Amino acid sequence: MDIGYVGLGNMGGALAERLQLTYPLIVHDQNEAAVQRLAQNGATPSGSLGDLASRCEVILLCLPTSDQVRDVIFGEGGLATAVKPGRLIVDQTTGDPGATRAMGAELARRGVDLIDAPVSGGAQGAKNGTISIMVGAASEQYVRIHPILAAISPNIFHAGGIGAGHAMKLVNNLISGAQRLLTLEGVALAMKNGIEPQKAVEILMAGGGRNSYLEKIMGPRVINGKLAVGFTLGLAHKDVRLACQLGIDSEVPMFFGNLTREFLQMCISEMGRDAQVDTAALVVDRLAGTHVVPPDYSLD
């Protein structure tokens, strides 16, 4: 079975590297250096989306937005120009559930299946094989894709039908985004009251305020001046914005989600859309008059 992977950025590249430990891959990306990294480990480069689509039974995608997914599938020279009936496209983007369902319906009329399988746990989790995978698919599609996704990680969850994986990923990133900002705010409050950030993190880790961001990012990285995590403020804002829109569409109040979205927008206005997401800590420091982030911080 030929498997293709399109989108070899920070996350997609890590997922593809993990997958190719078990399956030979045909890969495509606009960044030739990213393609060559996979090729050095045995992947076969494909010069075009149409070529990849004509050769592969299963095609996985990991792109920044659903708009880019649509372009890769339906745009000029896209996958839809050559993908054969009976093939399966797996979208690992953090995408818009509504857009995913619309694309799925369009592909279904061509006899092609689309499912969503976004991930959570970061590029390092992908490389380590510990990342969680949230799948939106019909039962028979889930059975079909499970062995392939299991080569990436054993932590696979069937969230529901198409779009459910993307919906669950937005819920995850909504909570994660709010947790990040509240943790930064809380540690700044502790510091403003005479408690050093390292001590504040130590105490919080032993109490009810313990959370994933505090444990994995704040403690080992942010308070040590390491602000690069390979994820931008723009992408974080996109995810929370989509979650808030999903709330509107679902008639669910999004008080804290909207606060998170607006704070991220403020950070973007100050730091830039392409700035690392944890530069939000610098904005909190400025507003609070603290220095939770040490002055010799690094963005590398």
- Residues annotated catalytic, as ranges: 169
User: Which residue type does 264 have?
Assistant: L
Tell me, rounded to whole angstroms, the distance of Cα 193 from its chain centroid: 35
SS (H, E, C) 152-195: CCCEEEEEECCCHHHHHHHHHHHHHHHHHHHHHHHHHHHHHCCC
Q: Is 26 helix (H, G, I), strand (E, B) or coil?
A: strand
- CA pair distance 122, 15, nearest whole angstrom: 10
Segment holding 49, helix H or strand E: helix 49-55
- CA pair distance 119, 165, nearest whole angstrom: 9
Contacts of residue 56, Cβ cutoff 8 Å, sequence gap at least 6: 2, 3, 4, 26, 87
Q: Do 76 and 90 contact (CB within 8 A), yes or no?
A: no
Q: Which two tokens stand for residue 295?
A: 């002055």
Tell me, rounded to whole angstroms, the distance of Cα 132 from its chain centroid: 11
